[in-house]
């Protein structure tokens, strides 16, 4: 027999262990679930091996999980006859952090110090959680590979682990948890039975405690809704998602045509991507008649639906389908399309019946819905219907939707108007909204930096064009003009002078009726990319020259009237003022790349005024 081999944990594992042991779960008992899940995964892998390998070590061993305890000694033993581990696998799997998810989790924890419990719950740190309750863990194992050694891995969860060759072991893994003195309660059968009932009812292999069968292997997703309680759903969600939170949405449905499908889908409580925890991993497993085909099937759901957890079962799947061919199969595409539609429909229904619940969900998960619009060609309208935003007619802090907007829109209105900006306040104070407000037309306020892109991708909603309120093509009704400060004749002359004076700087100059409190506004042509969209194109080197704006001056504004006087008395200063007004408007429109040129103009103007 070879000598025992002692190795240190990878530095990250030590950090992870530190977090797991000291601050991870309020619910320590979760470790039982994590180890049972590992045993179940291992059995699942063995079942697949038996389909593809010529021979598997001790091929007759039953695919089940046995748990025994020794109250006196304070130990729990979990045995499975799954794939087991070789020496190398013991080091790789139980000595390093191979999973990128755990790495990101660690980094985020380091940065944030503490994260909320439901976020942590979604990580399922797995095997290492045993050390929340154990002072020592032993793993006895023999791999499915005949030629592998009989081994014991052993660690106190502090600095490292030792691997020793041992007497003959059956295939699979036997994990012995030596409980800490004050955690010995976990070795009591009643306690353990309660924990298993709560967290591991849905394990898909027979599970016994002290020789007694404790679970019924049932595919809850194949049962009819009437036979499932809310509690069942919640526990199943927590089991499949390795979670401790409650699902926000539960969607359980089945269909026979055009394809057979039984699906049970959940949305989690929290979106941990928004805390910088890295991309969520797809969490919906694919089954065929209760048999797991793939725990992480590619292409079953579109990428943006990666936050969804659950199970999809289809009798139409060929059992021997390979992962590679599956992704492109017509059946997966059909399932994908059907699941996406049903899920969006469910969200829409839920948003209608529980608007506040939807708002809370939206606050956390809106990025995914927008990603769905940005990356796919289908379901645009349905996804757009789920969007929420404030508008010029909503109270501050209250959101509205496109559908609600349309109920308030004027009969002849053929567009939905929106504006993208930093926040509601600055958009309300800016020059674009007031013209709409004066005419009782609602303007949607968008504040997410991808919203420009999203609106330009959507283009329309229910037949109404989506139009940014800063566009020059927008035709607004004339309103009666009671307090015009310039006559029509004067306006015409001033426009002519401004056009000559500003020259190439702008596309055109006009007097308009949009403005109330601002002297001038810069409008962007419809076909030019807007704000963030242009910034993105610039970053990709595809922006081209800046679009030239159309200026609309306000004939009722004090400054404009005075400018008209000034140009007759002191054309030089008037020219500087006209340029400055223009720069201000271009700046408000986000059309000035180099603010220093504006400051130079401003200084020249100040100089001229103080002569």
Interface positions with ligand ADP (CB under 6 A)? 34, 38-39, 41-42, 80, 82-85, 93-94, 99, 126-128, 173
Please give the Cα distance from 203 to 196 (Å, whole number). Answer: 10
Least distance between ligand ADP and beta carbon 284 (Å): 16
Least distance between ligand ADP and beta carbon 301 (Å): 20
Pick the closest to residue 417 from 358, 481, 460, 462 (CA basis).
Answer: 460
Q: Which is nearer to ligand ADP, 103 or 438 (CB)?
A: 103
Pick the closest to residue 273 from 237, 307, 309, 310 (CA basis).
Answer: 307
Q: Which is nearer to ligand ADP, 297 or 372 (CB)?
A: 297
Least distance between ligand ADP and beta carbon 45 (Å): 8
Q: Which is nearer to ligand ADP, 32 or 386 (CB)?
A: 32
Pick the closest to residue 347 from 281, 448, 286, 267 (CA basis).
Answer: 267
Instruction: Give, in order, the Cα–Cα distances in Å from 532 to each of 44, 415, 419, 537, 591.
Output: 48, 21, 12, 9, 11
Q: Which is nearer to ligand ADP, 98 or 599 (CB)?
A: 98
Whether 95 contacts 9, CB under 8 Å = yes
Buried b (16+ CB within 10 A) or exposed e, 341-359: ebbbebbeebbeeeeeebe
Least distance between ligand ADP and beta carbon 115 (Å): 19
Q: Which is nearer to ligand ADP, 20 or 521 (CB)?
A: 20
Q: What 3 state SS string does 237-302 have?
A: HHHHHCCCCCCCEEEEEEECCCCCEEEEEEECCCCHHHHCCCCCCCEEEEEECCEEEECCCCCCCC
Q: Which is nearer to ligand ADP, 34 or 269 (CB)?
A: 34
Least distance between ligand ADP and beta carbon 90 (Å): 8
Q: Which is nearer to ligand ADP, 83 or 312 (CB)?
A: 83
Q: Which is nearer to ligand ADP, 93 or 472 (CB)?
A: 93
Rg (CA), the chain: 33
DSSP assignment of 310-321:
EEEE-TTS-TT-
Q: Which residue sits closest to ligand ADP, CB atoms considered?
A: 126
Q: Which is nearer to ligand ADP, 40 or 392 (CB)?
A: 40
Instruction: Give, in order, the Cα–Cα distances in Å from 354 to each of 81, 332, 357, 390, 400.
Output: 47, 32, 5, 18, 14
Least distance between ligand ADP and beta carbon 98 (Å): 7
Instruction: Give, in order, the Cα–Cα distances in Å from 237 to each of 223, 268, 283, 343, 402.
Output: 15, 9, 11, 16, 32
Please give the Cα distance from 443 to 45 (Å, whole number). Answer: 55
Q: How many helices (H) and strands (E) does the chain have?
A: 20, 22
Least distance between ligand ADP and beta carbon 66 (Å): 12
Least distance between ligand ADP and beta carbon 265 (Å): 21
Instruction: Give, in order, the Cα–Cα distances in Å from 30 to each of 126, 239, 295, 589.
Output: 9, 10, 21, 54
Q: Which is nearer to ligand ADP, 175 or 263 (CB)?
A: 175
Least distance between ligand ADP and beta carbon 474 (Å): 54
Q: Quick one: 74 exposed, middle or buried, by C-beta within 10 A (0-12, 13-18, 19+)?
A: buried
């Amino acid at each position: 027999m070879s000598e025992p081999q002692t190795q240190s944990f990878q530095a990250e594992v030590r950090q992870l262990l530190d977090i797991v042991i000291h601050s991870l779960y309020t619910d320590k008992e979760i470790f039982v679930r994590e180890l049972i899940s590992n045993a179940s995964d291992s059995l699942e892998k063995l079942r697949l091996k038996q389909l593809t390998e010529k021979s598997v070590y001790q091929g007759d061993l039953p695919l089940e999980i046995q748990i025994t305890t020794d109250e006196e000694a304070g130990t729990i033993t979990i045995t499975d006859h799954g794939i087991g581990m070789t020496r190398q696998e013991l080091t790789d799997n139980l000595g390093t952090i191979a999973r990128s998810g755990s790495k990101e989790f660690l980094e985020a924890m380091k940065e944030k110090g503490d994260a909320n419990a439901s976020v942590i719950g979604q990580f399922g740190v797995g095997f290492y959680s045993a050390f929340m309750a154990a002072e020592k863990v032993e793993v006895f194992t023999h791999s499915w590979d005949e030629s592998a050694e009989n081994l014991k891995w052993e660690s106190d969860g502090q600095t490292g682990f030792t691997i020793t060759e041992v007497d003959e072991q059956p295939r699979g893994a036997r994990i012995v948890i030596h409980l800490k003195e004050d955690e010995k309660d976990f070795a009591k059968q009643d306690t353990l039975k309660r924990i298993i009932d709560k967290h591991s009812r849905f394990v898909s292999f027979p599970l016994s405690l002290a020789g007694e069968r404790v679970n019924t292997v049932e595919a809850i997703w194949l049962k009819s809704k009437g036979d499932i309680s809310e509690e069942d759903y919640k526990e199943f969600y927590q089991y499949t998602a390795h979670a401790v939170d409650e699902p926000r949405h539960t969607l359980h449905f089945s269909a026979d045509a055009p394809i057979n499908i039984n699906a049970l889908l959940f949305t989690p409580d929290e979106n941990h991507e928004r805390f910088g925890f890295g991309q969520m991993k797809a969490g919906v497993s694919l089954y065929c008649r209760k048999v797991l085909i793939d725990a992480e099937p590619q292409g079953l759901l579109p990428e943006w639906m990666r936050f969804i957890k659950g199970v999809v079962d289809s009798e139409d799947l060929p059992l021997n389908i390979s992962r590679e061919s599956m992704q492109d199969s017509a059946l997966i595409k059909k399932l994908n399309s059907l699941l996406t539609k049903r899920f969006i429909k469910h969200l829409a229904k839920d948003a209608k019946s529980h608007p506040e619940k939807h708002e809370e969900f939206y606050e956390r998960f809106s990025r995914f819905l927008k990603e769905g619009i940005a990356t796919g060609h289908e379901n645009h309208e349905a996804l757009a219907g789920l969007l929420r935003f404030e508008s010029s007619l909503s109270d501050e802090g209250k959101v509205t939707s496109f559908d609600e907007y349309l109920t308030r829109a004027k009969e002849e209105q053929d567009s939905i108007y929106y504006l993208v900006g930093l926040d509601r306040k600055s958009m309300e104070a800016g020059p674009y909204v007031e013209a709409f407000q004066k005419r009782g037309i609602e303007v949607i306020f968008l504040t997410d930096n991808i919203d420009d892109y999203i609106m330009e991708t959507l283009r329309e909603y229910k037949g109404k064009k989506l139009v940014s309120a800063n566009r020059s093509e927008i035709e607004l009704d004339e309103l009666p003009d009671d307090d015009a400060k310039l006559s029509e004749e004067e306006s015409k002359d001033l426009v002519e002078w401004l056009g000559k004076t500003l020259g190439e700087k702008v596309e055109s100059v006009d007097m308009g009726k949009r403005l109330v409190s601002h002297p001038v506004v810069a409008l962007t042509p419809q076909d030019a990319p807007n704000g963030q969209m242009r910034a993105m194109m610039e970053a990709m080197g595809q922006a081209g020259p800046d679009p030239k704006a159309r200026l609309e001056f306000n004939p009722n504004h004090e400054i404009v009237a005075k400018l008209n006087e000034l140009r007759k008395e002191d054309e030089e200063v008037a020219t500087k003022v006209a340029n400055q007004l223009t720069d201000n408007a271009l700046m408000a429109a986000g059309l000035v790349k180099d603010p220093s040129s504006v400051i130079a103009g401003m200084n020249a103007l100040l100089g001229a005024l103080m002569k």
